[in-house]
Chain A
């Protein structure tokens, strides 16, 4: 190898040098253009949130007199804190419920044999293909009759149920890589199925369950359709609906306040994603193969 490269360097001509320089220019200009296109809107929205005025027309990337006025207005004039709290509550409960449901379903479908297994797998596979709000009218009528309308926590029922099909396949695929001899050894030692699940499989499932937990924690923050259907009062709204209504129609009056709200919710999420990126990508590509 080294001989080869040395030879190459020695044979370098003027044209090769020009080519090399052009390659550098080309690559770095691509990177710079993309970086600019990506960063400009981000900087603009952060700048807007510190702008003094309230309209879209006054919003600039670099505010002349930076102020926290929009953040103060957001917290005082709207129910932003309440929305944040609602969403956080839903997110945490949804995370817990989803992990329990998916963890058990994934284990059952990966490890146990029972009548109707193939039928069950096929049904949940088909279930995950329906547009999410196809059954919305029925859910609306159902919630109406059970007095669940305008109850933020009732959303958890739908989120946690809706994720079962996809994530069951995901966990099942993951468990395929955990040797079944571990289960068998436990059975030989006299463990029941529940003990095997709790002591042996559950700890091994933790990476994929963490992925489920993170995605299910994130889901309610930016889901718009469900709460827009099922929640009507202002103090019970989630962030997605609140933010959307803050800007919809009144963009020119509330824009900088919306910008402040966006920064407050997007910044922690973005940091979380960047922090967990390796993990999330693994989960996402695992989902593609599903084992």
Chain B
């Protein structure tokens, strides 16, 4: 197999030739129409049976679940008599046609069934292509060498490799059903009118194309909210990352200073916020900064609106995040600083650099290059830092100009509110897609640079 692919690469075949084999043979043509037929012509019975039975399972499921076998019911709409696969596709494309009654269509359920069907059909197409490619390759090999590998050899090879599939099978099924399918659902929801005014199963949901995207751009309320929230999310993520990074670096340097005694005790105190669950700390701080009853204002004898003034609430949020986030970076920097090669310092000192120069010209650049991936991950984390905003301010104070969002809401908490409290599923999905494009893009770029990826 390996050599085949390599030789194909060398000869610069087109993409189709790479997928289906060097050229279409008669066996390939047979397999194109009936899976396994080409293999039978190639006199590989085992393989033929393997591919044919995959096809058979799909066909049987379709027939057995349709009204051909179970019979139709009175007043049953046509679509309800379709088999599993046809009904799934019908449901996905129409999102249902009838409301009420016994055969009422539930659009989200239809969409989910449709997605499962599409994923299953994708698997079928994969096997179909494998079947054509195999038929072609075997036939061409036979023409060249006059010999045919037996199915046995093929299955031995399959068995060798199948260990990987068997072992990771449960994980793959779970991923397909609980990760991929829901994400696809959310993606497609962005193109529907699934919102507070359409409540399935009482109402049907329809495809609206790019209508929701147009709304975000054109309707002033949505546009203002989106631009406002997105800018604050970015500002928040940048400031939150930088403050915790430099705060952690500063503390690490201070604690590592030779003048400090009982380093271990100081360090334990300073990493305490990292050990306390973030949710608890945040809820505690919410009360700590309470304007009327909170201990801080009582202690100061003042009435400062820590969390009730739009600007001050943002500052408080960043300050609390600093409290929560500094220890992690402090620990990390301490680890990196102690693992540093001391000879670099010596070399710099010999060259006549003073302490300040050594730090900013030698230590800091090395440090930065080592923590860069972490810094980017931390940025992505803060960008989606649901907990900090939700538990501390819950987006408040209110912003009258915004749709379903407050002054301190970031994109992710806005999405949560739209989903949980206001049932604006389609708009929430749009924002999820946007977040994904941004954060996914940054993370992928960040990751592509590491050699972990290049190797495989």
Q: Which residues of A contact B (CB under 8 A)?
A: 23-24, 27-28, 30-31, 34-35, 37-39, 41-42, 44-45, 55-57, 59-61, 101, 104-105, 107-109, 112-115, 117-118, 121, 123-127, 129-131, 133-139, 141-142, 145, 157-158, 160-162, 164-165, 169, 172-173, 176, 193-194, 221-222, 224-225, 228-229, 240, 243-244, 247, 251-252, 255, 258-259, 262, 265-266, 269-271, 273-274, 277, 281, 284-285, 288-291
Contacts and interface: CB of A to CB of B under 8 A. Distances in A.
Contact of B181 (A61, A130, A138): A138
Interface of A is mostly: helix
Given A27-B254, A135-B182, A291-B452, A141 B276 contact: no
B170 A274 contact: no
B63 interface: no
Contacts of A130: 179, 183, 432, 436, 440
A23 B452 contact: no
A134 B436 contact: yes
Given A108-B168, A252-B293, A255-B287, A138 B161 contact: no
Nearest to A113: B161
B293 A56 contact: yes
B119 to A, nearest CB: 13
B147 interface: no
Interface stretch (B42-50, B95-103, B412-420): B412-420
B288 A41 contact: yes
* Closest 5 A/B residue pairs (Cβ): A135-B182, A138-B185, A138-B182, A273-B275, A291-B452
Contacts of B283: 243-244, 247, 258, 262
15 contacts: A42-B276, A44-B288, A57-B292, A60-B295, A105-B168, A112-B161, A131-B436, A133-B416, A135-B186, A136-B182, A138-B182, A142-B182, A265-B277, A269-B275, A281-B335
Contact of B290 (A39, A56, A126): A56
Nearest to B372: A288
Contacts, number: 242
A31 B266 contact: yes
B452 A289 contact: yes
Contacts of B254: 27, 30-31
Nearest to B269: A35
B347 to A, nearest CB: 15
Given A37-B323, A41-B281, A160-B174, A134 B432 contact: yes
A139 B177 CA distance: 9
Contact of A44 (B178, B273, B293, B295): B295
B251 interface: yes
Interface in B98-128: 108-109, 112
A224 B335 CA distance: 32
A247 B185 contact: no
A42 B281 CA distance: 9
Contact of B174 (A56, A60, A161): A161
Given A30-B254, A41-B288, A45-B284, 4 more contacts: A115-B161, A224-B279, A284-B328, A289-B373
Interface in B357-393: 371, 373-374, 377, 380, 384, 386-387, 390-391
A112 B163 contact: yes
B268 interface: yes
B239 interface: no
Nearest to B188: A138
B168 A104 contact: yes
B425 A137 contact: yes
A139 B293 contact: no
Given A41-B284, A162-B179, A112 B164 contact: yes
Contact of B108 (A136, A141, A289): A141
Given A55-B293, A193-B163, A224-B387, A274 B268 contact: yes
B294 A56 contact: yes
B290 A251 contact: yes
B48 to A, nearest CB: 20
Contacts of B440: 126, 129-130
Given A31-B254, A127-B175, A114 B182 contact: no
Given A221-B277, A247-B283, A38 B294 contact: no
Nearest to A246: B283
